[in-house]
Amino acid sequence: MTHKNIIVEGMTCEHCVETVTKAVNSLDGISQVSVDLDKKQVTVDFDDSRTDMDAISSKIIEVGFEVVLN
């Protein structure tokens, strides 16, 4: 299992948190997603044989947010 912290810009409220969480959870191989709104940080645990950071970043961008570093 791979554990990553991703900085995501553009999240302003619980609705954004829910949108990002659902989007990332919809990917294959994700085991856990948590969001710290104050830190703009998305923490993801995933199976790196089934998904990767590119897929996760693309998904976050797809739902309207900006991935700052990964």
Q: Where do contacts with Cu ion occur on this chain (CB under 5 A)? A: 12-13, 15-16
> For residues 13 and 69, which CB has a smaller minimum distance to Cu ion in the complex?
13
Looking at this protein, which amino acid is placed at residue 69?
A: L
> For residues 46 and 59, which CB has a smaller minimum distance to Cu ion in the complex?
59
First to last CA, the chain: 16
Diameter of the chain measured on Cα atoms:
32
Smallest separation, CB 18 to Cu ion (Å): 8
The residues that bridge with 42 in the sheet, in sequence order, are 6, 35
Smallest separation, CB 10 to Cu ion (Å): 8
